[in-house]
Structure 1
Amino acid sequence: MGAGTGPQIAAYLTEAYHNKLNMCRNNPSAPAFLCSGVMLRATQHSTQFHFWNPNPTSTGVSFSYLRADAKFSKLVFGYHNGFILYPYFFKPVGKIEPEILCFFPVDGATTPRADQGCGQSPGIVSSRPCQSQGINTAAQYIAHYNQQTNKYGHLCGFDVSDDLNQAATTAFNEAIKAQGMGGTFAFNTQNEFRLAKWGQNLGTTLPIEAVFYIGDAGKAGAQYDQQDFKNQTGIWIPAIRITLPQTPSADVRFEFIAGDQAVSS
């Protein structure tokens, strides 16, 4: 699945979204996020920095994950555009793989947390990593979730780091189940992956598949980012329109609209 045309990328994203695997390549040590679902980062349009550069003051980089069994109705902070990474098993040759550290079934309010955003929120014991609290299943997570009156920053995240091998695959599958059991709050609150921070100005080697926009509000930001990426790296990526579901029974739509592109190729 290397770099493709705009319609091909929209088709890849749709296929990845509907692909509800519980492991990749029948390998119990390869969590499903390596080959299925859509990993996206909502960004705020700015002429002051390039969208692919992490905030220099952050300890890690936050993404959300869309899949048919892991959907949500809005982006973090109400943002309307951002970018998408290839699933690592399908990235073009020569691209790097920023380390995937942990996953929160609902937004983890990770900025003040220890351990690159995967650890405990300051002073909130209930926010320690799930496995360290003996929370290993979706049912255990939901029991914990229901005990927290204030969920932002009080919930735990699942360690899904590479060195856990099969335990990372199990943890991710349980976390996805937990998100689906979280009801209205979980559907209305995006989930959160935390990735290790990469260096500045790595646009040519990051596995960026596309920029995206949610409705017309995000289009100008995505067009600017698409143009900026081409100017800085020489690489064309499509701008993909994403329509998020407004009811739990609806699905996400990924569309390539030729007239919405700032750069044709």
Structure 2
Amino acid sequence: MKRIILWMFVLLLSGCATHEPSPKVDSDQGTSGVQSAGTGILGAGTGPEIAAYLTKAYHDKINMCRNNPSAPPFLCSGVLFRATENSTLFHFWDPRPGSTGVSFSWLRVDAKFNKLVFGYNNGFIFYPYFFKPAGKIEPEILCFFPVDGATLSRPDKGCGQVPNVPTSVRCQTQGINTAAQYLAHYNNQPGKYGSLCGFDVRDYLNQGATTAFNEAVKAQEQGGTFAFNTQNEFRLDVWGQNLGATLPIEAVFYLNDTGKAGAQYDQRDFKTQTGIWIPMIRMTLPQTPAADATFQFIPADQAISS
């Protein structure tokens, strides 16, 4: 069964959670947030609640969602986020014009890293799709790289082969289906960046996507210093411009005081453009493999309180 059918069923059966004004949505999308009895993560909440949800999602080491083999854990656990470059020239939620895909990273207790792409210090967080508020769209999640995939150099929406680098072809195409096989591939590529493969996790693979992703997470966890020092990368299908109100944006985040100013601007801009308040969350990345990420809502740091 395709996961979208399961999600629609969940929306019909789930209880309510309210926080932000409801945007205009298709009438078949339901009317409220979603709660999981299995994890207790709500689809909407106050600033302290969102910080608590993120902390719980970060520590939730599951292999599938709701015991459904065709539902990979990124749909209901971990923290899916996009690091952004702050600018007054564009809205943080809009993809770059002309891009065919959008890059995110995914942080969980077994998928740690100590920095963001390009040294960025702020960005935004998506709800896990199983817990997004009703009416939010779900850009398709396409592929996952245990370490940064140099996706700007790849065709197929960032999931394909880097030109003239045969080792960068889709992992499954190369017969790389397990963590052990990926690590052998990884250890044979001295340069690593741009020479490694990514795992296809598209929805049509059903249980195959869940298996591939779980093996990719194991590979990242076992990847040593280079993997810990290099953020992983999801590639999502590109969405249209000016869709802030319908994207499943849970919060903006910042790592430090440099990022705080950018997050404050983004928080105000999102409220101005969409009418929706989202919290600013201070995200602290682990600086050693033994440490954990933390997520804090700090009232004094908020640009606007509601």
TM-score > 0.5 by shorter chain: yes
Residue number among 206, 218, 221 corresponding to 2:259 in the alignment: 218
Residue number among 144, 148, 160 corresponding to 2:201 in the alignment: 160
**Partner residue, 1:204:** 245
**Partner residue, 2:81:** 40
Shift in Å at residue 3 of structure 1?
A: 1.7
Which secondary structure does the structure 1 equivalent of 2:196 belong to?
Answer: coil
User: Quick one: which amino acid aligns to residue 45 of structure 1?
Assistant: N
Shift in Å at residue 88 of structure 1?
A: 0.1
1:141-169 superposed Cα distances (whole Å, 9 cap, x missing partner): 00000000111110000000000000000
Residue number among 162, 169, 193 corresponding to 1:128 in the alignment: 169
**Partner residue, 2:51:** 10
**Partner residue, 1:247:** 288
Alignment of 1:106-145 (within 5 A): 106-145=147-186
User: Quick one: which amino acid aligns to residue 61 of structure 1?
Assistant: V
Residues 138 and 178 in structure 1, CA contact (< 8 A), matched pair in contact too = yes
Which secondary structure does the structure 1 equivalent of 2:134 belong to?
Answer: coil
Quick check: 1:194 aligned with 2:249?
no
User: Quick one: which amino acid aligns to residue 137 of structure 1?
Assistant: T
1:173-205 superposed Cα distances (whole Å, 9 cap, x missing partner): 000000011100000000000000000000000
Which secondary structure does the structure 1 equivalent of 2:58 belong to?
Answer: helix
Quick check: 1:76 aligned with 2:117?
yes
Residues 40 and 84 in structure 1, CA contact (< 8 A), matched pair in contact too = yes
Which secondary structure does the structure 1 equivalent of 2:151 belong to?
Answer: coil
> In structure 1, what is the Cα distance between the partners aligned to 2:270 and 2:163?
37
Residues 113 and 122 in structure 1, CA contact (< 8 A), matched pair in contact too = yes
CA-based RMSD of the aligned residues comes to 0.5
Which secondary structure does the structure 2 equivalent of 1:111 belong to?
Answer: helix
Which secondary structure does the structure 2 equivalent of 1:172 belong to?
Answer: helix
Residues 43 and 127 in structure 2, CA contact (< 8 A), matched pair in contact too = no
Bigger Rg, which one = 2
Shift in Å at residue 207 of structure 1?
A: 0.2
Q: How many residues align?
A: 265
Residues 148 and 233 in structure 2, CA contact (< 8 A), matched pair in contact too = yes
> In structure 2, what is the Cα distance between the partners aligned to 1:217 and 1:143?
39
- TM-score, normalising length: structure 2: 0.86
**Partner residue, 2:223:** 182
- TM-score, normalising length: structure 1: 0.99
> In structure 1, what is the Cα distance between the partners aligned to 2:102 and 2:127?
16
> In structure 1, what is the Cα distance between the partners aligned to 2:44 and 2:188?
45
User: Quick one: which amino acid aligns to residue 242 of structure 2?
Assistant: N
Which 5+ residue runs of structure 1 have no aligned equivalent? none
Which 5+ residue runs of structure 2 have no aligned equivalent? 1-41
Quick check: 1:93 aligned with 2:134?
yes
Which secondary structure does the structure 2 equivalent of 1:8 belong to?
Answer: helix
User: Quick one: which amino acid aligns to residue 185 of structure 1?
Assistant: F
User: Quick one: which amino acid aligns to residue 114 of structure 1?
Assistant: P
Residue number among 87, 90, 94 corresponding to 1:49 in the alignment: 90
Residues 104 and 175 in structure 1, CA contact (< 8 A), matched pair in contact too = yes
Which secondary structure does the structure 2 equivalent of 1:116 belong to?
Answer: helix
> In structure 1, what is the Cα distance between the partners aligned to 2:98 and 2:59?
35
Which secondary structure does the structure 2 equivalent of 1:204 belong to?
Answer: helix
> In structure 2, what is the Cα distance between the partners aligned to 1:8 and 1:205?
21
